[in-house]
Structure 1
Amino acid sequence: MTENLGVVAHAANDLRVETLPEPSPAPDEAVIAVTYGGICGSDLHYWRHGAAGESILREPMILGHEVVGVVERVASDGSGPPVGTTVAVHPATAGAGGPRFPADRPNLSGGTYLGSAARMPHTQGAFARRVALPTRMLRPLPPGLDQRTAALIEPASVAWHAVNRAGDLSGARVLVIGSGPIGALIVAVAKRAGAAEIVATDLREEPLALARRLGATRTLSATAADEIAAVDADVVFESSGSARGLASAVTGATRGGRVVMVGLLPAGEQPALVSLAITRELELVGSFRFVDEIDEVIAALADGSLDIAAVITQVFPMEEALDAFAVAADPSASSKVLLSFGAPPVVE
C-alpha cells in the first residue's frame, strides 16, 4: 500500500504534501480511496492568505472538498455503499443547536464543510489518498460516468443551486457576471434550464471562450459597462465575488429582475448600488453552497443533459500540488484544475 499523502495548508504561503496517518473510521464512516479532487477558490485562499473570508487557519488543515473516489472499506455499522463503489461526496454537515434556519435549507444551518477553518478544531478536508468519510456524504455514481468529470459534481451543485434560486429560466435572458469555474458551470446549468439567451462577462478572453463553449450566446468584457447595462437581463448571476461585479449585475438587470449573488465578496461592508436596486424593484437573492442538488447533477451528467467536462483544463498528480495551485490561481491559464491521487481500482 502506498503511503497516505495529503495536501495540507499550515499557514499563508505554506502548503505541503506530507504523509498522513491512515484513516481511523468511526462506525458510520467508510474509507474512500480518492481518485480526483478539484481545487476550489477557498483552497486557494487558505494557501495564499491563510484564511478564506472570516475562516482563519489556526492549525494545519487538509484541504479539499470537491472529490470523487472509490469505497475501499465499508462502514462497520453496515451503512453506505459496498466496497468498489465509485462515489461523489456531499461535503456538508448540517449544524445542530445553532442559528435558526428553514428546515428544507440545511445549507444555512451554520454547519461544517470539509476543508474549512470556520471552527476549531478545523474540519479536515479530503485531499488525501485515503480518507474516512461519513456514509451520509457518499453518493454512488452510475456506471460509465467518467471520474474526472465527476470531480465537478460539487461545484456544479453550487451552480445548480444558484439556478434554482433564480426560479424558472425557460425563455429567459440571463447575464452571468464572471466566467470562472462557477460562472462557467452556471452558464451550462442555465442552458439546460431553458434560458433563451445567456450573456457572460469576464476580464479575460480565455474564460469567455469557455463560456461560449458551454452555452453562452454572447460574451462581453467585464469592463464594457455600457454594453453590460444594455443587456437588460431577466436574471443576473453575480459570480465574480467583487463589488464591481455586483454593480454590473445591478445595472445589467431589467426592471423587476432578479440578481442571484453567488460569488462571495470579502467580509465587511461593501459598496453597492442600492438606490438603483430599489427604484428598479430588483430582487437581490443570496445563494450559498447547495442542499440536495447534488443528486440532480449526478442524474443530469448520467443522462447526458449536462455537459461540463470542458471546465476541466488541467490535471496534476497530487505530488505536484504546489504547481497545480499556482496554475489554478491564474485564471488566464486555467479554469478548473484537478489533482489526481492515483487511487488504484478497488476490487471487493
Structure 2
Amino acid sequence: MAKKVNVGAVIHGVEDMRMEQVPMPTPRDNEVLLEMDCVGICGSDVHVLTHGGFGEYKLRQPMVIGHESSGVVIGTGKSVKRLKVGDRVAVEPAIGCKVCKLCKAGRYNLCPDGIYSATPPIHGTLQNFYTHVEDCCFKLPPNVTMEEGALLEPLAVGVHSCRIAGIQLGSNVLILGAGPIGMVTVLVAKAMGAAKICVLDLVQSKLDVAKEIGADVTLQIKKGDKEEDLVKKIHQLLGVAPDISIECTGAEPCVRLGILATEIGGVLTLVGIGSTNMNLPITIALVREVEIRSGFRYANAYPAALTMVANGTIDATKLISHHFDLKDSVEAFKTSRYGLDGAIKVMIHCQPRNKNNPGKKM
C-alpha cells in the first residue's frame, strides 16, 4: 500500500506561500484523522499572507493556512466514540480549554487559552490530512455537500452576529459591507425573520448578489459621500431607521455610519475587525442610547448553521464564486485577495470535486 503523502499550503512570511510536503499528523486519543475535502478562503487567511498576521497574532514560523473546512474521517483516537471512519464532517476551528469560566459559560470563543486553526502559530486545514478534536467535528447528513460543510464556518459567524444583535421577527436591519461575512449575515438575518434588510457596499456587483440572496434594498456608496446624505438614503430605502445595524467591514467610515443611521434606542453590532483606534461619534451613540455590541467569531453556532443548511432554510452555495484544486492554492488566494472575476467565496478542493458528495458526479 502506497504511503500517504501530505501536502499543504504553507505561509512562510509576507507574500510567501508555498505548496509543500508537510508532516503526516497522528490523532491523539480524543481526535480524528481527517482526509480534507473542501477549504474556503477567509479574509483573515489573506491577511496572514499579506500582513504576516493580525492583531496580536503574528506569524513567527511557517504555518499551514485555512480554517473553513470539511473532510472525511479516516482514523480515530482510542477515546473517540461519536464518529467513525467514513463519516463526512464539518470542522469547527475554535477549541476552548473547556475548564475556564468563559468556556463553562459557553463563551469558548473568548477563552484566553483556546486555540483556533490557522491563527498563528496553530496550523490550519489547507492540506491533505488534518487532525481535530472529535467534539468540534459535526457529522454532515447525506443531503449536505462538502462545500456546504466548509461554508458552515462563515455561516456560524452570521448566526453568532445575528443572535448578539437580537434580530427577530419584524426587525429592520442595516448590514454594512457585502463581503462574505456581510452575505452570510443577510442569509441568517432573513432566516431569523428580519422584515427588511438594507445592504451597502462600494461594489455594485456584490450588492447585486446580496439582493439575489435576500437583501430587500441595497445602496452603493462612494468615497467622499457625506454621512448625513447616506443616513437619509438608508432611511428612505428602508422606510424607517434600522433598529439593528451589523457592521461587517471594520472600516471606520462604516462604523461611524452604523452609529449615525441606527434608530434611537437601537443596536449596532460590530463584527468586522479594523484599526485598533478610530474616530467615532460616541457621544451621539450615548445620547441616543444606541447600544454598541460586538461579536467575535462564534460560539455554539455550528448546530444552528448546519440545521438551516440541511433543512433548506439557507442556500449558501450561491456565495461560492470560484473553485480551485489544492495544487492551485496560490492562484486561489490571488483570486480571493483581488476579487478577480467577481470573487466572493473561493473554494479549494483537496480531493476531486464531489468525490465525497453522495449522489453527485465527480
TM (normalized to structure 2)? 0.90
What's the offset of the Cα at 1:100? 6.1
Match of 1:191, SS? helix
Moved more, 76-85 or 210-219: 76-85
Q: Please say if residues 74 and 80 of structure 1, whose CA atoms lie closer than 8 Å, have aligned partners that are also in contact.
A: no
What's the offset of the Cα at 1:95? 3.7
Q: Please say if residues 80 and 138 of structure 1, whose CA atoms lie closer than 8 Å, have aligned partners that are also in contact.
A: no
Q: Please say if residues 30 and 80 of structure 1, whose CA atoms lie closer than 8 Å, have aligned partners that are also in contact.
A: no
Determine the structure 1 residue equivalent to 2:307: 299
Match of 1:17, SS? strand
**After superposition, where does 1:229-268 map in structure 2 within 5 Å?**
229-230=231-232, 231=235, 232-266=241-275, 268=276
Determine the structure 2 residue equivalent to 1:173: 172
**After superposition, where does 1:103-118 map in structure 2 within 5 Å?**
103-110=105-112, 111-117=114-120
In the TM superposition, what whole-angstrom CA distance separates every residue of 1:92-113 from its partner, at most 9, and x where no partner exists? 1114787867713121112210
1:288 to 290, 296, 305: 296
**After superposition, where does 1:153-172 map in structure 2 within 5 Å?**
153-172=152-171
In 2, the alpha carbon distance for the partners of 1:294 and 1:100 equals 18
Amino acid at match of 1:258: V
In the TM superposition, what whole-angstrom CA distance separates every residue of 1:8-64 from its partner, at most 9, and x where no partner exists? 111000011111121122121111011100111111011111112221100011111
Match of 1:254, SS? coil
Moved more, 56-65 or 167-176: 167-176
Q: Please say if residues 68 and 91 of structure 2, whose CA atoms lie closer than 8 Å, have aligned partners that are also in contact.
A: yes
In the TM superposition, what whole-angstrom CA distance separates every residue of 1:320-345 from its partner, at most 9, and x where no partner exists? 11110011112362111111101655
Q: Please say if residues 91 and 150 of structure 2, whose CA atoms lie closer than 8 Å, have aligned partners that are also in contact.
A: no
In 1, the alpha carbon distance for the partners of 2:144 and 2:118 equals 25
Asked if 1:340 is matched to 2:352, the reply is: no
Matched positions, count: 342
Moved more, 11-20 or 221-230: 221-230
Determine the structure 1 residue equivalent to 2:238: none
What's the offset of the Cα at 1:272? 1.1
What's the offset of the Cα at 1:75? 2.1
Moved more, 89-98 or 294-303: 89-98
Amino acid at match of 1:286: S
In the TM superposition, what whole-angstrom CA distance separates every residue of 1:146-167 from its partner, at most 9, and x where no partner exists? 2112211011001100000011
Q: Output the aligned Cα RMSD.
A: 1.9
Determine the structure 2 residue equivalent to 1:215: 214
In 2, the alpha carbon distance for the partners of 1:34 and 1:191 equals 31
What's the offset of the Cα at 1:73? 1.0
Match of 2:163, SS? helix
Q: Note the residue ranges of structure 1 that are not aligned, 5 or more in a row.
A: none
In the TM superposition, what whole-angstrom CA distance separates every residue of 1:225-281 from its partner, at most 9, and x where no partner exists? 445413211100000111111011111111111001000112x32111112111211
In the TM superposition, what whole-angstrom CA distance separates every residue of 1:174-205 from its partner, at most 9, and x where no partner exists? 00000100000000100111111100000001
Determine the structure 2 residue equivalent to 1:152: 151
Q: Please say if residues 38 and 152 of structure 1, whose CA atoms lie closer than 8 Å, have aligned partners that are also in contact.
A: yes
Determine the structure 2 residue equivalent to 1:319: 327
Amino acid at match of 2:245: V
Identity %: 30
